Structures are given as C-alpha cells and as structure tokens.
Structure 1
Amino acid sequence: MPGITPYVMVDDAQIYRKFLESTFDAEIPVAIPLDSDPRRLIHAEARIGEGTLYFADSGPTGGRCLESPSEPVHVQLWATVPDAERAFERAVAAGATPARAVETQEDGSRMGGFMDPFGTLWWVSTPA
C-alpha cells in the first residue's frame, strides 16, 4: 500500500522552498514553473530525509486551489530529524515562530515545534 504524501499550498512557493532547504537541508528534485508566471510553481517536490513533501503556489492562477484562507489551515507535519534542536533553530532563523521548545520526552526522544511563515505547524523529533 502506498504511503501518504502531504501537499502544502502556500502563497509563495519560492520562499517556502528556501525555508525547507534552510531548515531541513531539503533537496528539491522537481520544481515546475507555471507557464504564465515562471516565478510561481505549479508543482514541486521536497525530499526531507526519506520522506517527500509536495508543495505549490496557491491561488486561482496557480492552477491548484483558491487563495489561502484567513483562518489557520490546521495542517501539522511531523519530521524525524537527526538533530531537533538544530532544525528548530534553523527554522526560527528562517522566519518560523516557536510553538514549543525542544525538550526531552518520556521515551528519551527530543521534540519541539514551530509555525512556519505559511501557517503550517511543524513538529521536529530526534529519536532517543
């Protein structure tokens, strides 16, 4: 059975791409520009560790969906990373807002969270 791949729609996919690269050392093997506006992306793929995240510009001219709602989108993403503190610090440096400081959990793992500049809540965790 295939896994689930999140697809995040953002107001500026180029900035989101930089955020993912800066925070997670994401590789972006696919970034397809919109024919009518090459700065906008109609589809992109980010490889973060062993996982994949799809993203694109939102908006009617992005060919995908309507503009982002004014209310939170209620999307949360969980990323298992080699160093949760490093990912957290890099995210904040790239414009994220801390949601929960990285702390040791009952199982010995390290976990914290932040809201990226596009309204997605990220949880970063390093196994014990």
Structure 2
Amino acid sequence: MNIPKTHQAVMPYLMLDGAQKFTDFIKAVFNAEITHQHPREDQTGLLRHGEAQISGSTIMYCDAPEPWGTAVSNLFVYVDNADESFRKAIEAGAAVVMDLSNQDYGRTCGVKDTTGNVWWITSVSA
C-alpha cells in the first residue's frame, strides 16, 4: 500500500459550516499546521479541500457541499497540557462539554468547537 507521507490509513474528513472558523480554531488551540488549502472554483471563498496536521495526525475538511450537508465528529486528541489546551479552546469560542478532571487515563476535558465538533482533550503524565 502506497500512502502519501503526510497521511495515515484512516483519517477523519469533516464537512463543515465554516471551514475557516475550524482552521482558526485548530491553529489557536492545537498549533495545527495547515498543509493544504484549496478554495472552491466558484469564487465564494469557501474551502473545497483542506488538510491540517496536529502532532503528526492529519484531518481533512471542507465547507460542506450542497448535496451532502455537514458531517462533524467527536475527536480525541492527546496534548502536552490539557489545562492549557482547554483554556485556549474556550478563548477560541468553544463550549464546555465536560469540565477538566483527572481520570484513570489522564487529565481530560471535552469542548465543542465553533463548527460543532467535540474535542476530547487529554494529557497523560509520565
């Protein structure tokens, strides 16, 4: 199997109402690297296809095309500091789904971003 270097065998593909808001959110909260941005050819400013890397994992996304509608997701992400990422998410407009807490799997919380995706943010101490 020949998979492009920046891709994995399974990646989420999110169809969003507001791809630019999503781009802004993941850059502010997770320091995402935007690797592809292809606007629609109709000059609407909407995104036909985008890709971002968060700590080596790729997320594909676009502004939802008419025939399909939006498709958001729940995303689990490991970060160095869940408290800091939670703070950044709230500052970037996220709503709290689950407050910060210590669980047997790490320090964790849940937030809903400005396009409807739920992020389960977790850090694990060494």
Which residue among 93, 102, 105 is the counterpart of 2:103? Answer: 105
Q: Which amino acid aligns with 1:52?
A: T
Give ranges in structure 1 of 5+ residues lacking alignment: none
Q: Which has the higher contact order (CA 8 A, sep 6+)?
A: 2
User: Cα offset for 1:67?
Assistant: 3.0
The Cα of 1:39 is off from its aligned counterpart by 1.5
Q: 1:89 aligns with which of 68, 87, 90?
A: 87
RMSD across aligned C-alpha pairs, in angstroms?
1.7
CA displacement at 1:98 relative to structure 2: 0.6
Provide the residue aligned with 1:54 in structure 2.
60
Query: What TM-score, normalized to structure 1?
Result: 0.85
Identical aligned residues as a percent: 29
Q: Which amino acid aligns with 1:10?
A: L
Distance in 1, matches of 2:42 and 2:117, equals 27
Q: Scaled by the length of structure 2, what TM-score is found?
A: 0.86
Whether 2:55 is the aligned partner of 1:66: answer no
Over residues 2-46 of structure 1, what are the superposed CA-to-partner deviations in whole Å (9 max), with x where a residue is unaligned? 531001111111111011101110010100011112511100001
4+ residue segments displaced more than 6 Å: none
Measured after TM superposition, the shift of residue 75 of structure 1 is 2.1
- SS of the aligned residue for 2:20 comes to helix
Count of residues in Structure 1 that have an aligned counterpart in Structure 2: 119
Letter in 2 for 1:118: T
**Aligned match of 1:27:** 33
